[in-house]
Amino acid sequence: MAAQVAGCDALITQDEISNAAAARGESAEKWLTPRTVRSMIESRYKSNGYLDYTVTPRPQIDEAAGTVSYNMEIDPGPVYHLAFVKFDNVSDDLRKLLMRNWQMFPGDPFDQGYVANFVMMAQKADPVLMRSLAGVKATFDVQADPETHQVNCVIRFEKLH
């Protein structure tokens, strides 16, 4: 399978897609499926605030060669920005420590991957957080407003039993 990303302003390049298979030690023909390419595109666009993006695969069949190529057309939609982040069910001191480690500020393009990995990254960077959050589970809730393109994020902490 061959995959092409349409649009010169795409956030992911054809070379990045082609190199991804080699980095995994796999042949491009086996690894580059529409699903894996779409997943790479999704990750890149969501990490840059494009929550309403669409990807339309356009297959091109070459019956003589017995191959299918795909052009992936991307419509990014609007960029969503962080409106606020809130940490629930923590002490004021722990909330201050979490906010000191938080690096996505109001107005920044919203990166859901950052939110999903924040607690783990912050614990690795800060031994106090590592100790404070031992035995605690973190979940997050994201509310995106399609009219204002603002995202409210609440990260909740619960003690594990």
Over the stretch 90-108, which tens digit does the pLDDT of each residue have? 999 999 999 999 999 999 9
Q: What pLDDT score does 8 carry?
A: 41
- 2 has a pLDDT exceeding 50: no
- 6 has a pLDDT exceeding 60: no
What distance in Å separates the CA atoms of residue 48 and residue 36, rounded to the nearest whole number? 19
Mean pLDDT, the chain, as a whole number? 87
Domains of the chain, by residue range, sit at: 2-75, 81-159
Q: What pLDDT score does 28 carry?
A: 61
Q: What pLDDT score does 7 carry?
A: 46
Q: What pLDDT score does 19 carry?
A: 78
Same topology for domains 2-75 and 81-159, yes or no? yes
Q: What pLDDT score does 11 carry?
A: 83
| CATH class entry, domain 2-75 | alpha beta
Q: Please, are residues 129 and 97 in contact by the beta-carbon 8 Å criterion?
A: yes
With bands split at pLDDT 50, 70 and 90, how would you rate the model's confidence at 118? very high
Q: How many CA atoms lie within 13 A of 12 on its CB side?
A: 27
Q: What pLDDT score does 109 carry?
A: 97
Query: What are the tokens at 93?
Result: 């001191």
Q: What is the CATH number of domain 81-159?
A: 3.10.20.310
Residue reference for tokens 């995994």: 24
Report field, pTM of the whole predicted structure over 0.85? no
pLDDT (tens digit, 9 = 90+) per residue, 16-70? 877 776 776 666 666 677 888 888 888 889 999 999 999 888 889 999 998 888 8
